[in-house]
Chains A and B, each alone.
Chain A
Amino acid sequence: MNDPRVRPANLAEAAEAVGKIAARGLSLRPIGAGSRGWLGRPAESEAVLIETRDLRNLEHYEPGDLTVTVEAGMAFETLAGLLEAEGQWLPVNPARSGQSTLGGLLATGATGSIRSRYGSWRDLVLGMSVVLADGSLSRSGGRVVKNVSGYDLHKLHIGALGTLGLIGSVSLRVMPLPKEQRLVLASFKDRAVALEVAMATATSQLELAAVEVLDNLSPSIGLAEGTWMAVRIAGTEADCARSAREIQEASRMAGSRRHVTLAGTECLRALRDLNELPMEGTTICRISAPPSLAIQLLKQGSLGGDRRVICDIPGGIVHVLWNGDAEPSEIIKSVDGIRAGLGRSGSAILLDAPDGVRAGIDVWGPPPPSYPLMQSIKRALDPDRIWNRGRFIGDL
């Protein structure tokens, strides 16, 4: 008699449904497009799914304010289209995100290569309405770009995998679209040299959208296997031209044999392909570390040699990819090695992995030092642990 799915038509219905289901002692799992179900531990099968697909209203958009408020079930692509029509964008570029809903991207904390320039969700979210475990609808923040009124509770829900509530609607800061974009690609024989050039580029006074190093990947954009630096430039025509020139020159001086600058539609197509690369493996490990530590690991540590890697240089974010033919025990050994190399100075999570790998390792790794405090917050907002039980870090 239990309906395993509910699909509320609006926020009030969502709140009512949550209250009723929670009162029956059942657990709940929020789901948007279902496009990021690979993140975290497997879901409990008896959880009731609460679908946000029908919560897709545009609540408020005034382009002159550079802010937008939407319901969380709206697809990222849909919002991008609305903004583009006004010459604006939401500056985040997570892979596999086209169909994803905003709520799903927020809950999974999905980000991409441009976060060091534009910030991540925590820097873009201005406010949120959330359905809590008791069926109440609770709001924090607002829809203006500066606001210190009350606690920023919305930040708790970003990357929380729906364990504190269902994100119902969100207010976001948006930006004018960059006037011009370029992509500079440069190949290097030696990974260490590529990393050095990339680090120097990232710490220059050029304002770049992304600086990445890719190794042992052959993306569809036509790069041969080997080590590549990819630099995304966004700004005025004059900025783009000068940045591209200087980066090509620095690459050439460092011994790069092939370097190319893409512009226009060719650039946009390449950027789209590049965006998807971090997810092109059957097992994907995402490392976060201070950039110099990430680079050190890529040079000589457990990530050296022939590993397939993508490193966001200024962000210190590294994606390590394995194919389906890799032995689970080898992958587990590698991830354990990466975690040992990072110690308490970084984190390494498995974004996606086949069951054989998941069975042998905690995808989240050890909880952070403030875990007891996180447990207190979980108890305060979800005392009966109805939300997404078992999937997030520790027992959150």
Chain B
Amino acid sequence: MSPTVDPAVRSEIAGVVGARYVFDRDEEKRAYSYDASLIRARPDLVCVPGSAEEVAAVVRVAHRHRVPFVARGAGTGIAGGSIPIEGGIVIALTRLNRILEVNIPDRYAVVEPGVVNLDLTRRVENEGYCYRPDPSSQKVCTIGGNVASNAGGPHCLAYGVTSNHILGMEVVLPDGSITEIGAPHLEPGGYDLTGLFTGSEGTLGIATKIICRLSRSSEAVRTMLASYDRMEDAAAAVEAIIAAGVIPAALEMMDREIIRAVEAAVGAGYPVDAEAVLLIEIEGPRDGLNESSDVIKSLCLDQGAREFRTAQSEEERQKLWKGRKGALGAVARIKPMYYLHDGVVPRTRLLWVMKKIAATAAQHRLTIVNVFHAGDGNLHPFILFDPADADEVRRVHLAGEEILRACVECGGTLSGEHGIGIEKNEMMGWIFSEQDLETMRRVRSAIDPAGVANPKKVLPSGARCGELSRSPGSAPAGAWI
């Protein structure tokens, strides 16, 4: 028997959004109990408002009754950010999916939070523009979710993360009031609230309109693949490219296991006997591309690349990217489940940390595969496991912690683009002092004094470090790993 919400709350919310957009049957709540992380918890109630005003009215009900609420986009988050760990109301934003304004001369678009990332670029690409942030899930993930988690993607290397592309928002604050922050120009005045809200994982309010910066599409693009017999050489090539002052638009690395899985799944044309491949893309005015690609090619060969090739057609280029973007799905071919991490290291420590990951895998008798944003130092080790094997699950958590500890130890951080959510909030003490965290808490309570906006996320909740993620037995009621 799952918990239920106060009937008064249910009827008030039904009054706001209409009874057909309120769900609280068990099977309905289960559908909103998960995201792409391993954490599960059921809400007491799900509602699907149809406008910003309805979102605000629902939040006012929640605030008045002190019921927690969690906004949800496509549910593709990887850190449990949209999991209602404290129960309460899930506010699904799928109906707020309109592109409200496209302003090409001033290079911005105003979208509702439920707009799918790729749909914005599709809408403007014929006019020669695009929306730069391109998380691998861009065909399904929403811009609202991207803003909440300050999402990244392969092309962050040259163009930055979501926060570099958001000019402003309309936000429903935790008390249900609506305010505008930022503006569709560069100097809105006062404190940079847009910067604060982007990446706050729904703990400061819910964005109901988002002003996205549009970028001019590049004139030309060139995509290259370098393959290596040793992972170390590939990592050294990445360090060499960055150190040479060439910043590609994307610089991705994939290891042997991923290459094989991807080849079996989508046939991207990667060499299946290589230990590692680098997928490198450069963009810009066509005249400069030859010089940059020559530099990249010679650096890759210097580090021992056994093959270096350049996509000769758009079709071939798309195929190379299909492999990279389909890597996550292909992993399921190796083992039934994976635990994906998102640690970051300074770029000059890439080689060091790759060795550390390999040693960790060996020590805990686990398979760890890697497909990641090498140019940014943003790792994505997938630790594979069979959920039926309790001991393996235990080792998965130990290995994950060791990898993140290594990232922090060499000057890096816990998450580069997925977020902290409920998965890593108890590890925040590894990178921040109690004073740092207290300052963040102070800002959070200034905006959400009642503590109803996505509680227990981002900041440590007081549970012992790592307790939640260590084993299913110690997780709070309603959650499982």
Contact = CB atoms under 8 A, between A and B. Distances in A.
Interface of A: 60, 62-67, 87-88, 109, 115, 119-120, 122-123, 132, 136-140, 142-153, 155-156, 158-160, 164, 175-177, 199, 203-207, 235-239, 241-243, 286, 288-293, 314-317, 345-347, 349, 364-365, 367-374, 376-377, 379-381, 393-394, 396
Given A123-B164, A142-B413, A291-B105, A155 B195 contact: yes
A207 B249 CA distance: 14
Contacts of A123: 160, 164
A204 B286 CA distance: 13
Interface string B100-136: 0001011110000000000000000000100000000
Contacts, number: 261
A236 B431 CA distance: 39
Given A65-B348, A243-B285, A149 B420 contact: yes
Interface stretch (B7-15, B91-99, B149-157, B362-370): B149-157
Given A204-B216, A374-B191, 18 more contacts: A64-B243, A87-B245, A123-B160, A146-B344, A146-B376, A148-B199, A148-B415, A148-B418, A149-B424, A151-B443, A153-B440, A156-B443, A176-B245, A236-B291, A239-B284, A290-B106, A316-B185, A368-B180
A152 B348 contact: no
A205 B216 contact: yes
A370 B190 contact: yes
Contacts of B242: 64, 66
Given A146-B417, A148-B150, A347-B189, A153 B196 contact: yes
A319 to B, nearest CB: 12
Interface string B408-446: 000111111111100010001001110111111011111
A64 B239 contact: yes
Interface of B: 103, 105-108, 128, 149-150, 152, 156, 160-161, 163-164, 173, 179-181, 183-193, 195-196, 198-200, 216-219, 239, 242-243, 245-247, 284-285, 287-288, 290-292, 344-348, 373, 376-378, 411-420, 424, 428, 431-433, 435-440, 442-447, 458-459
A346 B285 contact: no
B323 to A, nearest CB: 22
Contacts of B348: 62, 64-65
A148 B196 contact: no
11 contacts: A142-B431, A143-B346, A150-B437, A150-B459, A235-B285, A236-B287, A317-B187, A347-B187, A368-B188, A370-B180, A373-B447
A203 B149 CA distance: 30
Given A145-B377, A316-B186, A371-B190, A380 B128 contact: no
Contacts of B376: 145-146
A102 to B, nearest CB: 17
Given A153-B443, A206-B285, A373 B179 contact: yes
A243 B161 CA distance: 28
**Most chain A Cβ neighbours within 10 Å, of B186, B198, B416, B438:** B186
Given A148-B415, A164-B191, A238 B459 contact: no
Contacts of A150: 420, 428, 431-432, 436-437, 440, 458-459
A139 B406 CA distance: 21
Contacts of B285: 205-207, 235, 239, 242-243
Q: Top 5 nearest A-B pairs by Cβ distance?
A: A176-B245, A155-B195, A288-B187, A380-B446, A146-B416
B196 A152 contact: yes
Contacts of A87: 245
A39 B298 CA distance: 50
A367 B181 CA distance: 12
A148 B419 contact: yes
Contacts of A159: 191-192
A370 B161 contact: no
A205 B128 contact: yes
Nearest to B342: A148
A119 B160 contact: yes
A144 B344 contact: yes
Given A150-B428, A239-B287, A120 B186 contact: yes
B436 A146 contact: no
Contact of B189 (A67, A177, A367, A379): A367
A139 to B, nearest CB: 5
B363 to A, nearest CB: 25
Nearest to B416: A146
Contact of A151 (B164, B199, B433, B438): B199
B404 to A, nearest CB: 10
A32 to B, nearest CB: 20
A314 B163 CA distance: 19
A236 B288 contact: yes
B443 A377 contact: yes
B266 to A, nearest CB: 26
A315 B443 CA distance: 31
Contact of A207 (B284, B291, B346, B439): B284
A205 B373 CA distance: 26
A396 B193 CA distance: 14
Nearest to A242: B287
B347 A146 contact: no
Nearest to B435: A136
Nearest to B444: A151
B351 to A, nearest CB: 11
B439 A132 contact: yes
**Most chain A Cβ neighbours within 10 Å, of B190, B196, B287:** B190
A349 B189 contact: yes
A66 B413 contact: no
Contacts of A241: 287
